[in-house]
Chain A
Amino acid sequence: MKLLVCISKTPDTTTKIALTGDKSALDANGVQYIMNPYDEWYALVRALEITEKSGGTVTLINVGKADNDAIIRKGLAIGANDAVRVDIEPQSSLSVAKQIAEHAKTGNYDIIFLGKETIDYNGSEVGAMVAEYLDLPFISYASKLELDGNTATISRDIEGGVEVVEVATPFVISAAKGLAEQRIPNMRGIMTSKTKPIAVVSPVAFDDLAVTVSYELPKEKSAVKMVDPNDMDELVRLLHEEAKAI
């Protein structure tokens, strides 16, 4: 099978968020970037398991500038065969999806993997967009994927439960927790990743339709109000009268 895994870069959750002076962007100073966990832990690892079992290749794709090469190398160290980087700073989800679809159009991939969402914007948009551009089925929030020839049986997380679907390749899938177990790159992987190719390709032209105007920081939370552990009636009263939560 020929598999494509879309990987993105995201600030680590523990990063302190600060804005640039004009509030138009995130202040990248001191921000620790990582590969989006859903892409790394679940999408990529499940793709690797499939090719390890039945043969084939795993290609990574990232839309971003050269500073993304570190996370691409990590993906190669975990086991992907090669990578494509579309050389443009990602703007809207639609433009990212357009770039991925442009590459995938001619790639003859059997399955295109994405993470269910990036942990910075939690948009969960790109997968459906890629699927639509390529006119392919899209199975979102997959927590289990079994393949039998060209037929996939997939469990997907829905509110309060699980749905099981069957679909033939080619298709697009977004990975949720459970799809695979996280892998840590080993020394050999890290060494061989250095010789694996990253093809840098030029973006296609695309006009952004949704643009970020500004950022703001949320209002400071007022200090916590401590309630006497022996007086839970008081807590209930506060929740009812003050917070209007019940």
Chain B
Amino acid sequence: MNKVMSNNQDKTSQDPIQHREHADRLSNLANTKPAEINREIGLNLFKDMTLGRRFEDKCAEMYYRGKMFGFVHLYNGQEAISTGVIGAMKRKHDWFCSTYRDHVHALSAGVPAKEVMSELFGKETGCSKGRGGSMHLFSKEHHLLGGYAFIGEGIPVALGAAFTSKYRREALKENSDSVTAAFFGDGTCNIGQFYECLNMAQLWKLPIIFVVENNKWAIGMAHDRATSETEIWRKASAFGMSGEEVDGMDVLAVRGAAQRAIERARAGEGPTLIECLTYRFRGHSLADPDELRSEKEKEFWAKRDPLKKLKNDLTNSGLVTDEELKNIEKEIDLEVNDAVEFALNAPEPDPSELTKYIWAEN
């Protein structure tokens, strides 16, 4: 911690535009206490992350085969965050709010893969009935507040869900302890809603976790070219809020940070800002030529693949065997293939229902 602070002082006195790279930050994290897990949890984390990875790989395949359209943003490389945070929360009890890169958050929240895949194919069986598409996945049943396509607009919505939780406890005297997780990227941390909502969340001690998935790039804008203070977790302190930086490629580290934040939120102690240092293994979207990121940078992060890391952690600790993990991968592949089969055969929305869902009454 001291080391970090002195580094910061040097930066302001000598070279105001020099930022610490993710790589440097990863080797100097302030709090690295990972979650403790048992065999069952370990297997569940691996399942969820593998589903996220394989699902997205299949999406790329289907996109290039002309089965899905529009802007499709894949999550490869960032799986430890969705699994680490949502896996530490209670499904169908806590609330989750995502962005345009939302497929894997939906899967972690429990939305069945076939419903997500159907949505991407624009089918009636999709979780948004084919009306939303890749960037607008919703599921009330699974407490998925949605994928929001514009930068920052999901944060206030997530804040609203956290407000409801607080309202039920304070104004209605109900036994309410649900927590909301809002996911967004480094690019979003330069927009007004981010700051407005941090302020309100801390002001009213709302049960919300702001999860920044800092993957270094806002499409083609490098984080340090857009942001004066690149260490986003530090911005929490400007609001008197708890902030934490975490290795976003390590699901146990993310889970540990999430657990600390969830505990605070459930106890009524308010919000937390968690900055996860991560990297996306693909371009911004499947339409992105990805010309600006260096091979050297990509290689550095490929070595930190969160799935490989978890696999090593699980097998090295003796909790599970290689064989078991391979079996899970096979199961997941079947699940993803089933989802594609289901989506391919699913019905299109009925044209007579074009204007359905505009109003609450139908």
Partners in one complex: no
